[in-house]
A and B are shown apart, each in its own frame.
Chain A
C-alpha cells in the first residue's frame, strides 16, 4: 500500500485535489459539513503527496520520473518505438524546491479562506476553484511535457481568474478577473503557438527530448520565434515588466487568501520561465540573460515607484509583488548570462540563480503573509484606505506583529529571510556589474520606506474611535500568519542550511552543475 502510494505520489498530488473539486461541484449547496471536510481533505492530501515527492527528490538527490500508464519505473522513452508517447511527470531538485512552498501555501491559504469567506461573504463557492488552482500549480511544477504544461497553465489561469472575480464587488472584482482571464488567454495562445512551432520541427513534446533536439544544431528561425512566444507568454503570466499591468488589479481585488495563492501560481510560471530559458534555449543565453536582467531591473523600479504612491493597502502590496518578481529575474538573468561565459564562471551562474530561487521561496512566504494580514485587517475594519486606517496595533496585536515581520522581510532588513536572499542577489549582481547591485539596493531602500509608511499608518498611532470595537481576527486566520512569520524568521536565521540542502542542487539542475 505504502509502496503504491509512494510510486504514484506525483500523480496523486494532482489527481486528488481535482477529484475533490469535481465532487464538491456535484454536491453543490447540499451537505455543508461534508463539503467542508472534502475541501480540506482534497487540499491536505494533494499537499501531502506533493511534499512526499519533493522530500524524496531532496533526500535521494535523484529526480522522480512518473510516466502515466507505463509500468513502474519506466522512463518516458522506454517503449518499442523509442519515442515519448505518454505524458510524463518529472520532479527534479528545482521542481521539488518550488513544490515545498506551493503545497504549504495551498493549505495555509485554503484554511485562511474558509474562515475569512465565512466572515465576509458567507459563501463557499471558492472551494472547488481553489482545489483546481492547487492541482494546476502542482501539475505545472511536476510536468516534464510541453503540452501538458499548457493544460495546467490553462487550469490555473481559468480557476485563478474565477477566484479573483467571484466576489463581484460591484463589478470591480469582475473587471479584474476579466482582465486577468483575457490577458492569460492571449498569453497561453502565444505559448501554444510556440509549442506548435517546436512540435512541427522536432515531433516531440517531452522537455528533455526537445532540449536535446534543439541543442544538437544551430538555432533555426522557427526556434527563435518559438522562444519569443514561449518566454513572453510566461513573462506575462509571472507578472513582470513590461507585461505586469494586470498584477495590481487582480491581486488587490481578490480576497486575501486568494491573492496569497494566486501569487504561488505566478511563481509556477516563473519556474517554467527559468526552466525554458536555461534548458531549452541555452544557445540564446547571453540575449535572454540580458533581457531578463533588464526586465528585472525595470520590474523592480516600476513596481516600487508605483507602490510609493498608493493609498489602498492591498494595491500597494500588489505593486511590491511586481517589484519583488524583478529581484528573481535579476538573479536568473545574471545566472543565464554567466552560463554562456568562460568555463570558470559556472559556479557564479549557479550562485546567482540560487539567490534568485532563494528570493522566490522567501517571497512566496512573506508576500503571502502580507496579503493574508492585509486581508485580515480589511475583513475586520471593512476599510482598505491607508488614510482611514490607523491604531490597529491595539486591537489586532497578532496580525500587527506578523505583518511587521513580513514587512521587515520584504524590506530586506537582517535577520529575516528577505535579507538573506537579497544579500545574495546584491553580491552576485555586483560581480556582473555594480549597476545592477545599485538598482537592487535603491529599490530595497524604497521598499523599506514604503513599508514603514504602511505599518505606521495601519497599526501604529492612537486607537481610533471607529475601530474601538474591532476584534482580532479569528484563530483560523491568525494561525497561517503565525506559521508563515515563524518560517520567515527561521529561514532568515539559517540561510546556509537552506542554501546547501535545497537551493544549490536546484540551481545546479539548470546551470549544468549536476545531471
Chain B
C-alpha cells in the first residue's frame, strides 16, 4: 500500500503525459492541440516536483529554521528547475496561441486538416 502511495505522483505524471501526447496526436482543433501540449508540460513539472520530495527533509529557508532542521535541509535544485520550466512553458503557450490567432485571422479556420497547405 505504501509503495502505491509513494509512487502515486509518478503514476499520475505518466498518465497526464500520455493523455497530453494522445491529445496532440488525435485532436483536429488547434486549441485542443495546445491544451495537449500544456498537459505534457504539466506532467513533466509534476514529475520534477515529485522526484524532488525528500521524506523528513526541511525546506531550505535559513531564517525560520531551528538548528536541528538545518541539518535536514533539502537542496532545492529540482524546484528551481520546475520554476524555470513553468516560465518557459508559459512563453511557449503564449507564442503558440499568438500563432493560432494569426492563423485564424489569415485563413479563417483552426481545423488542422483544413490548414494543412504545406505538403510534399
By a beta-carbon cutoff of 8 Å, the part of chain A in contact with chain B is: 83, 85, 147, 150-151, 154, 157-158, 161-162, 165, 168, 170-172, 174-179, 181-182, 185-186, 189, 192-193, 196, 199-200, 203, 205, 248-249, 252-253, 306, 309-310, 315
Contact = CB atoms under 8 A, between A and B. Distances in A.
B17 to A, nearest CB: 7
Nearest to A157: B92
Given A161-B95, A165-B99, A248-B118, 8 more contacts: A158-B92, A168-B102, A168-B106, A175-B115, A178-B96, A182-B33, A196-B51, A252-B118
Nearest to B41: A189
Contacts of A161: 95, 99
Contacts of B69: none
B30 A178 contact: yes
Contacts of A172: 117-118
30 contacts: A85-B75, A150-B85, A157-B92, A158-B92, A162-B95, A165-B99, A168-B106, A170-B106, A171-B115, A174-B106, A175-B107, A175-B116, A175-B118, A178-B30, A178-B96, A179-B118, A182-B34, A182-B37, A185-B92, A185-B96, A186-B24, A189-B37, A189-B44, A192-B44, A193-B44, A196-B78, A199-B48, A205-B77, A248-B120, A315-B120
Given A170-B106, A192-B85, A199-B78, A181 B99 contact: yes
A125 to B, nearest CB: 13
Contacts of A186: 21, 24, 37, 40
Nearest to B102: A174
Contacts of B19: none
A368 B40 CA distance: 34
A182 B77 contact: no
Contacts of B84: 147, 151
A93 to B, nearest CB: 29
A85 B88 CA distance: 22
Interface string B66-97: 00000000010110010011001001100110
A182 B47 CA distance: 21
B71 to A, nearest CB: 14
A76 to B, nearest CB: 14
A174 B103 contact: yes
A496 to B, nearest CB: 41
Name the residue in B88, B107, B116 with the highest tally of chain A Cβ atoms < 10 Å from its Cβ. B88
Contacts of A175: 103, 107, 115-118
Chain A interface secondary structure, helix, strand, loop or mixed? helix
B100 interface: yes
A196 B48 contact: yes
A309 B115 CA distance: 23
A269 B117 CA distance: 28
Nearest to B40: A189
Nearest to B88: A154
Contacts of B81: 147, 199
Contacts of A147: 81, 84
A355 to B, nearest CB: 32
Closest 10 CB pairs of A and B: A171-B106, A200-B51, A178-B99, A249-B118, A171-B107, A174-B102, A154-B88, A185-B92, A189-B40, A192-B44
A139 to B, nearest CB: 14
Contact of B95 (A85, A168, A176, A181): A181
Contact of A310 (B21, B30, B44, B120): B120
A332 to B, nearest CB: 28
A154 B77 CA distance: 19
Nearest to A315: B120
Interface string B22-63: 001000001001100100110010011001000000000000
A154 B92 contact: yes
B120 A182 contact: no
A252 B119 CA distance: 11
**Among A170, A171, A200, A253: residue with most chain B CB under 10 A:** A171
A153 to B, nearest CB: 10
A196 B44 contact: yes
Contacts of A252: 118
A193 B48 CA distance: 8
Contacts of B47: 193, 196
A97 B9 CA distance: 43
Contact of A181 (B48, B96, B115): B96
B118 A181 contact: no
Nearest to A176: B118
Contacts of A182: 24, 33-34, 37, 96
Contact of A306 (B37, B75, B120): B120
A170 B105 CA distance: 9
A80 B112 CA distance: 55
Which of A151, A165, A189, A306 counts the most chain B CB atoms within 10 A?
A: A189
